Amino acid sequence: MGQNDDDKKPGDLDSEIEEALGEQSILEIAGGVMFAPTKRPETKEPAVGKFTEGTVSAVGDADVFLEFGPRIQGVVPHAQFAEPPDVGSKLKVFVEDYDDKESLYLCSVKRTVQAGEWDSVEIGSILLGEVKAVNKGGLEVQCGVLTAFLPASHVALERIEDLESLVGQRFEVEVLEADREKRRIVVSRRGILGRERDEKRTAAVGAMQVGSTVAGQVTRIEAYGAFVDIGGVEGLLHVSEIAFKRVEDPNEHLEVGQDLKVKILKIDEGGKRISLSLKALQEDPWVRVTVDNPPGSVIEGEVTRIASYGAFIEIADGIEGLAHVSQLAPGPINTPKDVVRIGQKISVRVAEVDPERRRIGLSLLTERGDRLTDDVADDATIREVIERTRDSGGEPTLGDILKRALEGGSAE
């Protein structure tokens, strides 16, 4: 039996090697090359201000990461892509700058982005800048080797009060003025943000349909309504579409940051104007009120508004009817305020209902024209009894009047 390799003594192993190789060396057996090292590919660092190609290594919410070589990475803002690239795909980018702290190359896929050098700067050029300081009226922005001024009114679409919060941030700016003699550059960010907003709006609006229900969040409130973010674009929830009842102050019904569902009523001007409704998703109280209270019925209400032509009376939550001035008293009056006052609770008769125009006519009078009251023997009823008795050929007695009055009141 042969010995196992583990059982061989060092001297035996040397003899075996000598027997196998003889006078040859291992180098000679290998053809003159022994332990040839694996040659690492040469990696060329990306040059700032030049185009280069990288491989997409990861896609995040804010940035797309690129590999240019071993431990050489770059980033491109995610917002620059209409569709996120696939991991592993090749991408040609423009190298804007290098971040020493993060050891990252800051890149762009937009060919219009240029390095901050006088030879490449002209009105309309897009530069990548870093906010260095806050100056009177705006920001000092470093664009490559050049320093530019960004007016406060051009920092964002909406005015930013705390400009200090932007120091250290990097973003693209557009050249508004480039005066080589004065070595002065004025830039803007507002136009770039506006175009990005329009692109997002176009994409978002393309997926929306009139009549659909969408989720949104209240972004700001004005006297005439509230603006609601419905997926990257804003729509207007007009004050008349917040509730069925009259809304005087939208702040009493909504608050900034509130989540809600709304219905899209209209999309105009390519999505620049979107009309929304909250009450369209609520049960319409008008239908129930008109079913439960047909013409002739008496219902309790509260006076909400008074005009020269009559009084508006709320008979249900969000439902108002109009009692015309002619329906407030049996005889002529100077003004509705002589009969009713705001906040007064009164009984009214439903005189008419107009479903198409969604209007309800109310009256403080009975169908005979006398005042709607709890007194069964009112003046109008007494006059009617007297006239009917005389027409039959006799004079009414007090008993006849009371009897007929009671019958009339009961019938009423």
Residue 270 lies in a domain: yes
- Residue 226 to residue 275: CA distance in whole angstroms: 11
- Map 360-397 to HEC letters: EEEECECCCCCECCCCCCCHHHHHHHHHHHHHCCCCCC
- Residue 57 to residue 35: CA distance in whole angstroms: 33
Per-residue pLDDT at 286:
79
Phi, psi (deg, nearest 5) at residue 306: -125, 130
Q: Which domain holds residue 329?
A: 285-363
Stretches in the chain below the pLDDT threshold 70:
1-43, 110-120, 270, 373-412
Residue 404 to residues 322, 371, 387, Cα–Cα distance (Å): 33, 18, 11
- Residue 192 to residue 14: CA distance in whole angstroms: 77
Looking at 224, 246, 281, the residue that finishes a domain is 281
CB 112 within 8 A of CB 120: no
CB 137 within 8 A of CB 152: yes
215: its two tokens: 């989720």
Residue 368 lies in a domain: no
Per-residue pLDDT at 138:
92
The three-state secondary structure class of 359 is strand
Phi, psi (deg, nearest 5) at residue 265: -95, -45
Largest CA-CA distance found in the chain, in angstroms, rounded: 161
The three-state secondary structure class of 355 is coil
Per the structure, how many domains does the chain have?
A: 5
Helices (H), 84-237: 190-206
26: its two tokens: 């291992």
Per-residue pLDDT at 374:
47
User: Are 103 and 148 in a shared domain?
Assistant: no
CB 369 within 8 A of CB 363: no
- Residue 168 to residue 129: CA distance in whole angstroms: 10
Calculate the CA dihedral of residues 231, 233, 238, 243 and round it to 10 degrees. Answer: 0
Residue 274 lies in a domain: yes
- 304-342 b/e with 16+ CB inside 10 Å = b? eebeeebbbbbbbebbbbbbebebbbeeeeeebeebbee
Helices (H), 62-133: none
Residue 80 lies in a domain: yes
Per-residue pLDDT at 95:
85
User: Are 351 and 388 in a shared domain?
Assistant: no
User: Are 277 and 295 in a shared domain?
Assistant: no
- Residue 243 to residue 213: CA distance in whole angstroms: 16
List of E strands, 28-164: 51-59, 63-69, 72-77, 90-99, 104-108, 113-114, 126-135, 138-143, 146-151
Whichever domain contains 87, its CATH number is: 2.40.50.140
The three-state secondary structure class of 256 is coil
User: Are 90 and 123 in a shared domain?
Assistant: no
User: Are 74 and 132 in a shared domain?
Assistant: no
Residue 31 lies in a domain: no
User: Are 359 and 295 in a shared domain?
Assistant: yes
Residue 15 lies in a domain: no
- Residue 311 to residue 319: CA distance in whole angstroms: 14
Q: Which helix (H) or strand (E) holds 216?
A: strand 213-222
Q: Is 412 exposed, middle or buried (0-12, 13-18, 19+ CB in 10 A)?
A: middle
User: Are 350 and 290 in a shared domain?
Assistant: yes
CB 54 within 8 A of CB 66: yes
